[in-house]
Structure 1
């Protein structure tokens, strides 16, 4: 009897392992636009891969076909863990999560998606000119990867996109965490840092990048140079898209209609947000807003340990 039980256990384990290992196999083939990239894009993809070496946990790269193009998704963490979807900031790509993915992956299955309209490894094949199309694109990814209910974390513009997704997927999203969300709770107010960024547009690309980092990070010298190199190459590939003008703050009624727990974190030196963001976050039915000290707009990198801890506590 014991031998039979052991055999059944072994068979069940093998079936489980096989089903898990094959689940994403059809999405693992690297597409031609990566393998046969132009010199400029090849340099960016190589820089992207170098940044992935900072990823502190095992990962899989998936290429998911959608009606709008190919979605590149980095998957990490426990197969049976509660899913987390990560939406990166503008031009940052999914590699921006390198200081955070280890903690998030400990008890969760993490899906980091490269936004199809920005530099990354996703490829646009059909024009997207409306937020509704972006929401539809993300929903195609969730369906293809069989992601049921999940936690959603968005940074900067990814935060604005995350709120759009949450408003359209109230039942699917278990919780919503927004890190320095851009143009989400209020308009970006003019400031000295923003003025410097505008003035730097008449300078060299190098000076523009340095000025942007100075205004967005509390300590840009601490950002890994490998990632900065990738970010720099990404800005050279970036083309303005039609969604920029669509990025307007949500109404109070829209925000208060969110029925899931919402966490909002901003840096105390955040050029994009102010205390008004926190006031609105704390007024939401299940909202909580906090200011992270010694952090700029890039707070997930500036204060990675603090942000990781607050995210884990929120998710738990």
Structure 2
């Protein structure tokens, strides 16, 4: 990454901390004010209506806060864990959940340090604590031989889990994993998301979605509203800075079957990421999805769903 990215990011952290100090006392490490969190959660629940399959929601007490998990699919089926992208929350799976839950028991987990329904008990957690947090959730549900799908930041988190000794992951799908195999490919284009995060408004939202999606018109207006409120109301935190590409040794030591998908118009990954994954992963498969950007699960959801289901089965 270049220096300007870090300068802008720390400016965002400074602005966020200043604005949060002006607010009323509210013990939440993601949202600044209680009313803003309430508005966001209302939008979250509206997006969940797009799932259109039966599901339940559970809050799990952990050493690092409350983990919010959305469960669906046959109760005795093979477990499938879904890890969402940055600021996207588990609701982002609305175009994919029906296909993924048909033959799997799905556990969609909201990440602690981002807008969602998980609630942290601290300002940030380390990589080691992140691994411990997910393992507490897995133990709570007694999950064995887990299949896992991670999108963007969720792809980095999934890879982090797969690099640990004695993990319980049997298969993994990485959907345009951010900062996992290579650094951001087109930083100048991705900067629209950073500016939107620092100074959120509807115009910058549109510019961000246009950059990250090949078909932004396919994104549900309900989900757009939730994503907008996530960036408008949530504080900036430094957890993103933990996301650095994994070493050659880390990738080579992932011996489970791994499928990597990126869109041909992705601004986060390039062909270099696919080439690296294909070269280093012992059981890696890579594929480019045509007419898709970083949001390939929406841009080409039918094709992506079919490929994911075939790989998972």
TM over 0.5: yes
Aligned partners of 1:68 and 1:128 also within 8 Å: no
Aligned partners of 2:161 and 2:167 also within 8 Å: no
SS at 2:163 equivalent: helix
Say whether residues 1:86 and 2:79 are aligned partners: no
Distance 1:177 1:169, change over 3 A: farther
1:254 aligns with one of 250, 253, 257: 250
Say whether residues 1:186 and 2:182 are aligned partners: yes
- Alignment partners' CA distance in 2, 1:241 and 1:180: 22
Deviations, residues 139-190 of structure 1 (Å, cap 9, x unaligned): 1111112212210110000000110011115541010100000010001134
Distance 1:268 1:136, change over 3 A: same
* Correspondence for 1:299: 296
* Correspondence for 2:104: 108
SS at 1:110 equivalent: strand
Distance 1:222 1:200, change over 3 A: same
Say whether residues 1:206 and 2:202 are aligned partners: yes
Aligned partners of 2:197 and 2:232 also within 8 Å: no
- Alignment partners' CA distance in 1, 2:259 and 2:197: 34
1:209 Cα deviation from its structure 2 partner: 1.1
- Alignment partners' CA distance in 1, 2:114 and 2:82: 15
Q: Which consecutive segments of 4 or more residues in structure 1 shift more than 4 A?
A: 195-204
Say whether residues 1:232 and 2:228 are aligned partners: yes
Structure 2 gap ranges (5+)? 1-27
Say whether residues 1:72 and 2:87 are aligned partners: no
Instruction: Give the number of the structure whose alpha-carbon radius of gyration is greater.
Output: 1
* Greater alpha carbon shift after TM alignment, 234-243 vs 129-138: 234-243
Aligned partners of 2:197 and 2:231 also within 8 Å: no
1:204 Cα deviation from its structure 2 partner: 5.7
TM, length-normalised to structure 1 = 0.85
- Alignment partners' CA distance in 1, 2:63 and 2:34: 24
* Correspondence for 2:18: none
Choose between structure 1 and 2 for higher RCO, CA contacts under 8 A separated by at least 6 residues: 2
SS at 1:250 equivalent: coil
1:206 Cα deviation from its structure 2 partner: 1.6
Say whether residues 1:270 and 2:266 are aligned partners: yes
- Alignment partners' CA distance in 2, 1:201 and 1:70: 25
Distance 1:127 1:99, change over 3 A: same
* Correspondence for 1:51: 47
Deviations, residues 68-97 of structure 1 (Å, cap 9, x unaligned): 110000000011111000000000000000
1:222 Cα deviation from its structure 2 partner: 1.1
Matched length? 282
SS at 2:291 equivalent: coil
Say whether residues 1:160 and 2:189 are aligned partners: no
1:102 Cα deviation from its structure 2 partner: 0.3
Distance 1:306 1:235, change over 3 A: same
- Alignment partners' CA distance in 1, 2:195 and 2:228: 19
Cα RMSD over matched residues? 1.9
- Alignment partners' CA distance in 1, 2:301 and 2:116: 22
